[in-house]
Chains A and B, each alone.
Chain A
Amino acid sequence: MQNQNDDIRAALLRKSRSSKLERRGKFISWLCIAIIVVVVFAIFGFVAYRGLSTFFGTKVTLWNFLSKTAWAPGTTDASGVPKVGALPMIVGSFGVTLLSALLATPFAIGAAIFMTEISPRWGGKILQPVIDLLVGIPSVVYGFIGLSVVVPLIRHVFGGTGFGILAGTFVLFVMILPTVTSMTVSALRAVPRNYRQASLALGATRWQTIYKVVLRAATPGILTGIVFGMARAFGEALAVQMVIGNAALLPQNLISPASTLTSVLTSGIGNTVMGSLENNALWSLALLLLLMSLAFNLITRWIGKRGAMK
Chain B
Amino acid sequence: MAEEIITAKDVRLKYGDFEALHGIDLSFRKNEITAMIGPSGCGKSTFLRCLNRMNDLIDGVTITGDMRLEGKDIYAPDTDAVELRKQVGMVFQQPIPFPFSIYDNVVYGLRVAGVKDRGTLDAAVEKSLRQAALWDEVKDKLHDSALGLSGGQQQRVAIARVLATQPEVILMDEPTSALDPIAATLIENMLLELRSDYTIIIVTHSMHQASRISDRTAFFLQGNLVEFAPTKTIFMNPQKKETEDYISGRFG
Contacts and interface: CB of A to CB of B under 8 A. Distances in A.
B52 interface: yes
A153 B100 CA distance: 46
B86 A198 contact: no
B96 A195 contact: yes
A203 B113 contact: yes
B82 A205 contact: yes
A194 interface: yes
Given A204-B82, A205-B82, A198 B112 contact: no
Contact of B86 (A199, A203, A208, A310): A203
A212 B112 contact: yes
Contacts of A199: 98, 108, 112
Q: Which of B82, B83, B92, B112 lies at the interface centre, i.e. has the most chain A CB atoms within 10 A of its CB?
A: B112
B98 A203 contact: no
Given A202-B85, A217-B99, A310 B145 contact: yes
B98 A195 contact: yes
Contacts of B54: 197, 200-201
A98 interface: no
A216 B92 contact: no
B158 A198 contact: yes
B139 interface: no
B109 interface: yes
A213 B146 CA distance: 14
B147 A198 contact: no
B179 to A, nearest CB: 17
Contacts of B100: 216
B211 to A, nearest CB: 27
Given A195-B96, A205-B112, A200 B162 contact: no
Interface in A144-186: none
A11 B85 CA distance: 71
Interface in B90-140: 90, 92, 94, 96, 98-100, 108-109, 111-113
Given A201-B89, A202-B85, A310-B145, A208 B96 contact: no
Contact of A204 (B57, B112, B145, B158): B112
Interface residues of A, number: 18
B156 interface: no
B96 A198 contact: yes
B83 A203 contact: yes
A143 B31 CA distance: 70
B82 A203 contact: yes
B98 A217 contact: yes
A198 B92 contact: yes
B216 interface: no
Interface string A36-47: 000000000000
A306 to B, nearest CB: 12
B165 interface: yes
Q: Which of A195, A200, A310 lies at the interface centre, i.e. has the most chain B CB atoms within 10 A of its CB?
A: A200
B161 interface: yes
Contacts of A200: 54, 57, 85
Nearest to B109: A202
Interface of A: 192, 194-195, 197-205, 208, 212-213, 216-217, 310
Complex A-B, nearest 6 residue pairs according to Cβ-Cβ distance, in ascending order:
A203-B86, A202-B109, A201-B90, A204-B112, A198-B96, A203-B85
Interface of B: 52, 54, 57, 82-83, 85-86, 89-90, 92, 94, 96, 98-100, 108-109, 111-113, 145, 147, 158, 161-162, 165
28 contacts: A194-B92, A194-B96, A195-B96, A195-B98, A197-B92, A198-B92, A198-B96, A198-B98, A199-B112, A201-B52, A202-B86, A202-B108, A202-B109, A202-B162, A202-B165, A203-B82, A203-B85, A203-B89, A203-B112, A203-B165, A204-B108, A204-B109, A208-B112, A212-B112, A213-B98, A216-B99, A217-B99, A310-B147
